[in-house]
Structure formats: structure tokens, C-alpha cells
Amino acid sequence: MATNESKDFQRKPHFTFIWIIENASSLLNSGWVDSPSFIVQRMEKTKWKLSTYYDISMGELCLQISREEDNGPDSIEIEHEISILDDDGSPIAMLTYLQQFRCATLCSPNLSESGDEVFFQRRDEFLPNDELTVRCRMFRTGTEISKSDTCFARTRLGVDRRSFVWAVRDFSSLRKEEKRTRIINPNTHGSPRLILSLFLSERDLKTYLNIQIDHNSETSCHFIICKISVLDSYGRKVHSKETEGLLDEDFQVCTFRKDKIMNDESFALENDVLYLKCEFELVAELVWNRIESYGYSNLEDPEQEATEMLEFQDETCTAGCPFKKTLEDLYGYESLSDVSLRSGVTSLPAHKNILSARSPVFKAMFTQDMREKTSRIVDIPDLNADTLSRLLLYIYKDTVEELQWESAVDLFRAAEKYQLLNLRKKCSVFLKSNLSVYDVCSILSLANMHEAGDLRKAAEDFISEHDNEVFDSNEWKTFKEKNFRLASEIMERIILLMKRKSS
């Protein structure tokens, strides 16, 4: 169920939490999945988390927020807005609700969306790249702020992928009453053992080869994606069938007509052996569940909060990859660097191979016939020192730290220039989540300059909702004077959209 965004458009959320769930199709049979816990400083250091689960009885994906045990007030009134975002950061499902939260309480109601819509019919919208992106914006009732805080978190659901070639010998003499089985053991924890069966059946005077997964106690309610391919003697796929679903009973993977296999002229059954490539994908345990970046603004005691945040992240993050940790340790390590990036009077040590691996622009700079290829110092005149530092932090640690409006705009431009697409997306999501009457025009200019269609669409959607306030603002008047053609295009689209709505 979706609702409209808050009418109080000039308010900024006190806190925005953006949660990305990788391998999200596995939510169909993962049970409850909780986000990392997060602390909202502007709400008296209260502690929260988001949760999602697939309600099998209702066929719905559900999302909700809960307050955990903390040292905050006994009760606090919060307006929260939970949204599912599409690939360009625009909400496609939303729920806004005002509730009094006591410690260790859940929100009711929750955001519910049809499982058929999310996982199948509109999968490309809800789960681009098999990722579910959830945004929670929180407002403390009765208070206003000039800046808001943002937190990014990421959860990766475990996926068990199994692939093998099954050699079915004496295929031509396989009898209808004969059943051949193959046991496939799991590769990861939390994934079931599979018993694969192969047998013949008759239907409409034709003989079919059937492949199924036999039901057992381990497979109950697991979601699986299957692909079975018939291979020729060179290992090439000549016939393939795919299916997916819940293993709640004997699961029919696929069927092939036996006569088509036997009479296929494109390949021959050498030595009467049928080769089947079997590929399966199932959910397993969580790989990680962690805070990626946590930004505060205007804190009374930033050193104390930074210490608390490091301790908090140690509690919520799973153990990191050793290789990733080694790469992170190279950040700012001057003795092993082979280049310095300079902005103004600030020089930051770096490593050409790491920069090149992360950015195609840096790769061209250091591998092609350019002066930077042999230089120990590379000037970056279009980035200020703060933005350059943030850019390097992301390149080495995959971290975005303390995003605020101006830093997000500058970092977006840097990500665009150096073709860091995930960083660009994070900045874009932050900007779209914090649009207001006073800065929507600057986002239009930014989107137009960098041909960022998602940003422009979000800005135009915002203007269409708040047209009177935007068009009466001084910011719009200045924007129209400097960008008359663009302003005219937007006004025409808004008018056309309003006409369509009224009709």
C-alpha cells in the first residue's frame, strides 16, 4: 500500500536511513531480515532498526520500523516515512505514519507490497540488479532543523550456487518405471541438501524426460532458481529450460521430450550418454549486515560522537574481508604511494594501480600517453581539498562519510567526472531524499549539466507537487533568468502533467 509524501514539503527529515539488500530475491524464503541498528542523535540518541519479511499467508513483502532498547526517553513521538526506491532513487511504494514509540516497540501498520509485483511482475522496478533499496525518513514532531543526518547500510543475503554436469548413461534404454537420483550437497551454511530425480513419463502418446527435486524436511519453503541444459559432446548447450519457485513439495524442474533429444540432428548421443548441465541457486545465511556510512551535522561534541559511532559500528558489522582490510590500510599511507593528488595547497598520497582499478578516468590518465603517466604529482584543480579527500576515501574504503547538501553536490560532480557510478548513485539518492523549495533549482541545473535523468525527474516531480511554492520563490526567478529555455521546458511539462491529472 502506497501513500503520498508528506505535505509539509519544506521540512527536512531529522534523519534518513537508506538500506540496500543484495540478492533480494532470496527474501522469499529468508524469514525475518533485520537492518543494522542505527542511532539517531537528533532524537535523543534513540536506537532503531528496520525489518523485512515475506508473509507467505498473505503473499506480501512487509517492511516495518522498530525502536530498540536504548537510554533515550520512555516515549517519543515520531513521524516516519518508509519507501521502496527504484533504480533512479524515486519512491515506488510508500507509507507515512505518526506514532508514539516506547522502548522496544514495533510500528503498526507496516508497508506491505504484493509479492507477485515485487518478485515477478515488476521485478525490474522493485529489484534492479536483485537489490531492494529501502528509505526511511524520520521527523521529530514539533521541531524544525536546517540540516539532516543520513545513514547508509547494506545487507547481503547469502546465495548458494551449485553447478555440475550429470552424465545419464544408457539413456536410450531408460525405462518408464526406472528412477535415477543424484544428491547435491550444500556449499554454504543454511542451505539444504537437494535430491535430484530423473525419470520418464507419458502424456498424449509422447514420452517425456522429467527432472524434479524430491521434497524432504531440509528443502521446506526454500526458494530456488533452476536451469537445466542438454549439452553436446563439445559442451555446448543445445536445449535449456529454466524455472524458479518454492520447494514446498516435489518440485518439477523441467521436462524434455525424449524423441526430440534422440532425433536432434544438431548433436549425437555419444556412447548413449546424455549430458545435463544442472545449475541451482538457493538462499543461505547472511554474508554481511553493516553500516556503510554514518553522517552527523552540528553535533555538540563531535569527538565523543565519533568515538561512540566507531564502537557502535564494531558491534553491528560482521568481520570484513582480509583483502579489503589490507586495501583500506593503504589509504593515506604515504611511504608506499607512487603519486600525490593535489588540490590547492593540499596534497594527498595515493597509488596509481588502485586509482586505475577503481576509475576508468584515472586508468586512462596513468596508462595512456599523458603527462600524468610519469608525474609524481597530479593537480586536480576542479575539486576542492575536502571533495578530493572524500573521493579518495570512497576509492579506498568504499565509504561515504558525513554527507551534507553542498558536499553531496560536489561529490556527485566528482563521481560523474571520474565515472564512479555507485558513488554517483549514493550522492543522487541523498540529494533526491533532501529536496526542498530552496534547492530544487540547483538540482535542476546539476542534472541538466550532467545529463542525470533520474535527478531531473525527481526535481520535476517535486515541482509538480509544490508548483505554487516553487514558482513563487526567489530561487525559481533567478533560475529562470539564467536558464530560460530549461525553465520553459519544465513549466510546459508541469502544465501538461497537471492537465492529464485533471482529466
Q: How many residues does the chain have?
A: 503
What pLDDT is attached to residue 46?
92
Selection from 230, 251, 249 nearest residue 241 by Cα? 230
What pLDDT is attached to residue 137?
93
User: In whole angstroms, what is the distance from residue 259 CA to residue 208 CA?
Assistant: 8
User: In whole angstroms, what is the distance from residue 63 CA to residue 54 CA?
Assistant: 9
- Is 232's pLDDT higher than 60? yes
What pLDDT is attached to residue 321?
55
User: In whole angstroms, what is the distance from residue 294 CA to residue 38 CA?
Assistant: 9
Selection from 456, 434, 426 nearest residue 19 by Cα? 426
Residue 316: pLDDT band with limits 50, 70, 90: very low
Residue 297: pLDDT band with limits 50, 70, 90: very low
User: In whole angstroms, what is the distance from residue 91 CA to residue 433 CA?
Assistant: 10
Find cell 552424465 and name the residue. 167
Selection from 238, 241, 240 nearest residue 263 by Cα? 238
Residue 190: pLDDT band with limits 50, 70, 90: low
The H or E element spanning position 453 is helix 453-465
Find cell 533512479 and name the residue. 88
Instruction: Specify the pTM.
Output: 0.51
What pLDDT is attached to residue 4?
41
- Is 318's pLDDT higher than 50? no
Q: Worst-scoring range by mean pLDDT, 25-34, 149-158, 170-179, 404-413? A: 25-34
Tens of pLDDT, residues 391-450: 999 998 888 877 788 889 999 999 999 989 889 988 988 898 888 888 899 999 898 888
Mean pLDDT of the chain, nearest integer: 82
Tens of pLDDT, residues 341-382: 998 888 888 888 889 888 988 888 888 766 766 778 888 888
How many C-beta atoms surround the C-beta of residue 178 within 10 A?
11
Is 114:59 a contact under the CB 8 Å cutoff?
yes
User: In whole angstroms, what is the distance from residue 282 CA to residue 286 CA?
Assistant: 12
Is 307:343 a contact under the CB 8 Å cutoff?
no
Residue 294: pLDDT band with limits 50, 70, 90: low
Residue 85, class by beta-carbon neighbours within 10 Å (0-12 exposed, 13-18 middle, 19+ buried)? buried
Is 490:461 a contact under the CB 8 Å cutoff?
no
User: In whole angstroms, what is the distance from residue 480 CA to residue 477 CA?
Assistant: 5
> What is the DSSP pairing of strand 288-295 with strand 149-156?
antiparallel
Q: Worst-scoring range by mean pLDDT, 144-148, 152-156, 252-256, 295-299? A: 295-299
> What is the DSSP pairing of strand 237-246 with strand 288-295?
unpaired
Residue 78: pLDDT band with limits 50, 70, 90: very high
What pLDDT is attached to residue 302?
37
DSSP state of 121: I
Is 380:390 a contact under the CB 8 Å cutoff?
no
Q: Please tell me whether the peptide bond between 73 and the residue prior to it is cis, using omega within 30 degrees of 0.
A: no
Residue 436, class by beta-carbon neighbours within 10 Å (0-12 exposed, 13-18 middle, 19+ buried)? middle
What pLDDT is attached to residue 308?
37
Tens of pLDDT, residues 34-44: 999 998 888 88
- Is 118's pLDDT higher than 90? yes
> What is the DSSP pairing of strand 159-169 with strand 91-102?
unpaired
Residue with the bigger pLDDT between 288 and 431: it is 431
What pLDDT is attached to residue 181?
92
Q: Give the phi and the psi of residue 88 in degrees, each rounded to 5.
A: -95, 10
What pLDDT is attached to residue 234?
75
Grid coordinates representing 478 are 533567478
Q: How far, in Å, are 33, 65, 99, 250, 396 from residue 107 at the CA level?
A: 16, 6, 7, 38, 38
Q: Domains in the chain, start-ordered, CATH in brackets?
A: 15-147 (2.60.210.10), 159-285 (2.60.210.10), 320-427 (3.30.710.10), 435-502 (1.25.40.420)
Is 257:202 a contact under the CB 8 Å cutoff?
no
Grid coordinates representing 358 are 577503481
Grid coordinates representing 165 are 554436469
Beta bridge partners of 194: 184
Beta bridge partners of 195: 183
Grid coordinates representing 192 are 539444504
What pLDDT is attached to residue 367?
83
- Is 477's pLDDT higher than 60? yes
What pLDDT is attached to residue 304?
40
Is 75:102 a contact under the CB 8 Å cutoff?
yes
R_g over Cα of the chain:
27
